[in-house]
Structure formats: C-alpha cells, structure tokens
A and B are shown apart, each in its own frame.
Chain A
Amino acid sequence: AQSVAQPEDQVNVAEGNPLTVKCTYSVSGNPYLFWYVQYPNRGLQFLLKYITGDNLVKGSYGFEAEFNKSQTSFHLKKPSALVSDSALYFCAVRDDYKLSFGAGTTVTVRA
C-alpha cells in the first residue's frame, strides 16, 4: 500500500519568513502526490499535485512543493508566510481508488 508521513505535528513561523511543511512517501511504482489545506471548521481545499517530470510544482495561494525522488520527499513551501496561512496541512498519495493521507501538520504563523 502507498503511504505518506508528515514528521512534524506543528510548525511555527513568523510572518514574512519561509514556510516548509515536510512530507515523505512510500510507494511502489510512480508516486501521485497531493497537498491539501484545512482551515478551522472547513473542509479540505486542494493546493497542488505532483505531475511526473516536474520536480517543482506550483499551486494555489503562492505555495509550491518540491519533489525529491532520492529522498522520497514532497515538501510544501512558501517563500513568505502570511498569518492567514495558519491552518492544518495534509499530504496525500493516491492509493488505488483512494487518497491515503498523512496525519497532518498544524501551521501557525505569528504576526
């Protein structure tokens, strides 16, 4: 089965600083990877997905993710974090007909 892991439960950064949310994957075959964000009391919103061949993926709200095959990682990044980026972030991998999600990382951006 395919799986992802998010090694950090929480990430705290100051507004204006770079933000990185880590994700590692374990798959057999080609990985199909996704990032979602969940704001308080809301559903999940799609941010971006990995397309084979493009190691740097650009998504919504200024986020991007870097695919690294040798490190089996798909870290989410934003060059300059905003207070409004405070949310719960999920990495996911396609596993047959479903998405397998990581446990989530809570991001807090302080003003």
Chain B
Amino acid sequence: NAGVTQTPKFQVLKTGQSMTLQCAQDMNHNSMYWYRQDPGMGLRLIYYSASEGTTDKGEVPNGYNVSRLNKREFSLRLESAAPSQTSVYFCASSELAGGPLETQYFGPGTRLLVL
C-alpha cells in the first residue's frame, strides 16, 4: 500500500515549456487534489476532483489544467510554464470531498523549477 505517489520528484523547465505532473493513489479514495506550496504561504489549492469524472477550480487555477484519468489517477498539466510556477506541488486524496471530518492524505511532492 503505497498511499499517494507522485512523479517526477524534481523537474527543471524553461519558460514556455509544457509538462504533466502525475499522481496516483491506491486507497480507493473518491476525491483528489492538487496544491502548491510556496514559502510563507502554506498550501494553496489549484484544482480538485470530488469524484471520478469531475474537476473544479481551486484558489489558484490560472496556468494549469487537470485530468482525472480514472479513480486512481489525477494529473496536473502546465501548458506554458512561467517562473511564477516555480513551487513544490503536492497531490492529495480523501475518501469523499465535502465531508467535514474527512482527512486528506498527501504525496511526497514534486519540486518544479522554471527558468
């Protein structure tokens, strides 16, 4: 039981390049999330998927797209990377979004540097 896994662990991009961050969970969770972590700002939600087949914007969706490929996998795509997207990206999952007491479980993160 690996929990939440993310690939790659680290990536360097040039401005304008595109890439996809992959996330998978093996806990049979319905809901998945993408956050970014920047120093002094905590984590901010980019997009989430409450259930397979649905996706919704979070606080900071501009410059990103997502795909809920199936129940296990939720990918984040940067179509044209910008230096402002340099950050650490975390994927998370939970049993069911909206339940007030439900716990989110996080992956190890992807460090992205955009030059």
Chains A and B come from one and the same complex: yes
- Identify the A interface with B (CB < 8 A): 9, 30, 32, 34, 36, 41-46, 49, 51, 90, 94, 96-99, 101-104
| Complex contact A49–B98 (CB within 8 A) | no
Contact stretch, chosen from B41-49, B63-71, B76-84: B41-49
A97→B48 contact, CB < 8 A: yes
Query: Size band of the B side of the interface?
Result: 20 to 34
Query: What's the least CB distance linking A50 to chain B, in Å?
Result: 9
Instruction: State whether B103 touches A103 (Cβ < 8 A).
Output: no
Q: Which of chain A's residues have a CB closer than 8 A to the CB of B98?
A: 96-97
The answer to whether A97 and B50 touch (CB under 8 A), given A43-B106, A90-B43, is yes
Q: Interface 1/0s, chain B 35-63, versus A by CB < 8 A?
A: 00000111111001010000010110000
Check A98–B101 contact: CB distance below 8 A.
Answer: no
How many A-B contacts at CB < 8 Å in the complex?
Answer: 54
A43 touches B90 (CB 8 A): yes
Residue of chain A at shortest CB distance from B9: A41
Residues of B within 8 A of A36 (CB): 106
Does B16 sit at the interface, judged by CB under 8 A? no
Look across to chain B and name the residue whose beta carbon is closest to the beta carbon of A98.
B45
* Complex Cα gap A44–B88 (Å): 12
State which of A44, A49, A103, A104 has its C-beta within 8 Å of the C-beta of B106: A44
- Name the 5 nearest CB pairs between A and B, nearest first: A101-B42, A43-B106, A32-B100, A44-B106, A98-B45
Q: A46 — which chain B residues lie within 8 A by C-beta?
A: 103-105
Please give the distance in Å from A47's CB to the nearest CB on chain B. 10
Bound Cα distance from A94 to B94, whole angstroms: 13
